[in-house]
Structure 1
């Protein structure tokens, strides 16, 4: 089982328009709402692929009630912690070529007690888990070391822990040495405090983090696929998508596939391939939809342990 912690979940509204023009009125051709937040998305795709998962998240206000209804409708098991504030509503504006413009609200302000209840619930559920993953931004009021605290408490119980965040929460989490981190290209550059123009630069930065105690660094690279680095391997995988619809949640689906592969005993290269396949499938779907098994069919995938490390990333 994979337990996800999403301190700042959302209701995600996706709106499709022909062309985004600042300051003008637009008529949407279609729209949809989905449960959102990075950890929630990880649990959603795992549930869609019939894998065991539980999502831990705060719930408050009318949007919180709607979020629970959406999770129930999607068949996602969840443990809700009641909070005084209101869950955020995020808006994604989608254009036909796949361009996505996101408007994210800050989320509810958490008290120390509410943040503590989220951690306690996650650590309790970790007792029956293969992996625990902390994902996404932190809402106002949450301590910057929330993920670092999670790492320490879960690791002490002998459970693998992964983190996918950015900024100060990610820096603190990395210092606590989780089993796995999944930054994107920009987030990895932020972690190491210098630009990473080539695939080789990404590999070297990831190797430095592995040398500091992270077992697995998986870097999502958008159209350039993903690179997974351990003490033994540097594996690159990429999928070709000719008609992308939305990039919302694709990185979360990639992380879910990777963790599912690792939790079911796949070698790291195969687990990365699973992750890239799930992430690529998400790009073919509207809004923040997550792929079901049939959506994975027919997607061309390339994987190698000897990529061109001089390749300049787009």
Structure 2
């Protein structure tokens, strides 16, 4: 069972414009509205791949109800904690050529009672058969150590944890030894204080340092250059795929989703990683934060090439 946790979900409003005119008039060509937030994107992608998840986190107000309605219509199981503050709306301005400007709202206020309710839900789902995906930002009122706290609690019941976060959330989660993490190479370089161009060797070296802290599987995305994967058993790089890019928003979520799906289905880490690269490439071709179809993913999967490092 895969449980996705989105503490700061959003209605993603993707707006197509020709070229953004700062301080001037911008005429909108098209608008797409999606239920979003990293964990929710993971759930949507796993559903498209043919898997099942339980999506949880916090939702509130009419925007939160819209997210719940969308997931129900998609057949995605969900079990959110309902709060009074409305769920945020994030606006993404997409220019011709794929340049994206994101305007993200900060998110709602989370009370201690709501947080305790969520923690109780998560512990109830935790077992040796559960993989938790903790993804994305948290509202400002939530302590940045929350992912580590959740990981420690569910690890006690034998569950696995996949964390996809950045900044302080990422740093404070490492002591909990998540089973899987997916930073990108820039985030990893910032964490280790590496400046300048980041080589594959740099990336592998940084990943190995994290493995020494007890993290068993590390996927480092590198945009169009593909991704590096490191585990206790192997180190390999998968080349990026050439696709027509609409927007890179959601590409990382797609990779997390596919790896999680692959792991649950019993695939080797390498096969799950290849599926992750294909799904991520498919995601950049879609409008808004919609996942690629399974048909598109399978076509791209046949093109994925990996090499030992």
CA contact (8 A) 1:135 1:165 kept: yes
The correspondence of residues 101-250 of structure 1 with structure 2, limited to 5 A, is 101-127=101-127, 129-195=129-195, 197-250=198-251
CA contact (8 A) 1:91 1:103 kept: yes
CA contact (8 A) 2:217 2:229 kept: yes
Gaps of 5+ in 2: none
CA contact (8 A) 1:58 1:83 kept: yes
The correspondence of residues 92-107 of structure 1 with structure 2, limited to 5 A, is 92-107=92-107
Gaps of 5+ in 1: 307-314
Quote the residue 2:53 is aligned against. 53
- More divergent stretch after superposition (26-35 vs 202-211): 26-35
Q: In the aligned structure 1, how far is the partner of 2:43 from the partner of 2:282?
A: 16
TM-score by length of 1: 0.93
Q: In the aligned structure 2, how far is the partner of 1:54 from the partner of 1:113?
A: 22
CA contact (8 A) 2:126 2:158 kept: no
Please report the RMSD computed on the Cα atoms of aligned residues, expressed in angstroms.
Answer: 1.4
| 1:264 and 2:265 are equivalent in the alignment | yes
Quote the residue 2:80 is aligned against. 80
Question: SS of the residue aligned with 2:239?
Answer: strand
Quote the residue 2:305 is aligned against. 302
Quote the residue 1:312 is aligned against. none
Quote the residue 2:9 is aligned against. 9
TM-score by length of 2: 0.95
CA contact (8 A) 1:211 1:231 kept: no
Q: In the aligned structure 1, how far is the partner of 2:17 from the partner of 2:273?
A: 34
Q: In the aligned structure 2, how far is the partner of 1:236 from the partner of 1:201?
A: 13
Quote the residue 1:311 is aligned against. none
Q: In the aligned structure 2, how far is the partner of 1:25 from the partner of 1:75?
A: 40
Q: In the aligned structure 2, how far is the partner of 1:270 from the partner of 1:175?
A: 28
Instruction: Return the offset for 1:231.
Output: 2.2
State the Cα deviation string for residues 137-187 of structure 1 (Å, max 9, x = none): 110211111100111011111111111111112111111111111111222
Q: In the aligned structure 2, how far is the partner of 1:117 from the partner of 1:226?
A: 37
CA contact (8 A) 1:241 1:284 kept: no
Q: In the aligned structure 2, how far is the partner of 1:180 from the partner of 1:292?
A: 25
Quote the residue 1:273 is aligned against. 274
Question: SS of the residue aligned with 1:13?
Answer: strand
CA contact (8 A) 2:128 2:160 kept: no
Q: In the aligned structure 1, how far is the partner of 2:243 from the partner of 2:279?
A: 16
